[in-house]
Each structure stands twice: as C-alpha cells, then as structure tokens.
Amino acid sequence: MNSFEPVSVLVIGPTARLHDLAAFLPERWLVLRRPDLLGEPAHPEVVVLIEPSSALVSAACLQNPTAAVVAVLSPFSDHEDVVRVLEAGADACVRTTNAAIVAAHAEACRRRQLASPWRTQAA
C-alpha cells in the first residue's frame, strides 16, 4: 500500500462509537463522519457502518460501488446478524467496540482492493 496515497474512510453511525478510529489508521487516511448516507457523495475508499441494518449495507454498497464496506456490530450480537450484513453485501463484519480492530479490518479491506485484478484506476 502506498503510504502517500490518501485514503478516505466514511463512518456512518453514532459519533460516540469509534471516535478514536483515526488514531489507529495510517497517517494519510482521512476519517469522515456522517449520521447517515444522505447528502453529497463522499466517494470513500472504505465505508464503516456502525450497527447497520441489511438495508443500510445494501444502500452503502450501491451508493459506493468501489468502496470496501465494513459492518461493525455489538460484541454481543448474534451470528445471524453477522450473516445478515455479509449477505447484504458487506466485505467484512466485526463484532467489537474496539477502534483498533476496526482499523485493522479497514486496512485489510484496502489491501484486498489494491490487489484485486478487477481494480480500475480513475481516469
């Protein structure tokens, strides 16, 4: 991963959750926060959804087709919730409140994006 390449991470959900996410991401990564998917498109490389419904996961995937989508669920959520968000299109699902773990999953998703033979460069 090129450390000089800026990467944007869009976090959708309550601002109190994962408030320290930026501290665990590489230096050039930018964390944007929104309460929902409404508004101008942000064109992020990674979308982090906090406690999403399957409809929100699907909407995030449709609105951000080139972004990796990471669903963050409660550590106490049921395995059916994990299956639900993955089937809705999330690239990863994490049951945690720990920002460092979420950051590690976001970085892993970004590495997979960059290694993908289907990756296209913006013109």
Predicted pLDDT at 118: 67
Q: What is the mean pLDDT of each run of 10 residues along the chain (123 residues)?
A: 76 92 96 89 93 96 94 96 97 96 96 77 44
For 84, phi then psi, to 5°, come to -60, -50
Domain boundaries, the chain: 7-115
Predicted pLDDT at 3: 52
CATH for 7-115, among 3.40.50.2300, 2.30.29.30, 3.10.129.10, 3.20.20.70?
3.40.50.2300
Predicted pLDDT at 39: 80
User: Cβ(73)–Cβ(82) under 8 Å?
Assistant: yes
Predicted pLDDT at 123: 34
The sign of the dihedral angle between the CA atoms of 54, 58, 61, 64 is negative
Predicted pLDDT at 5: 75
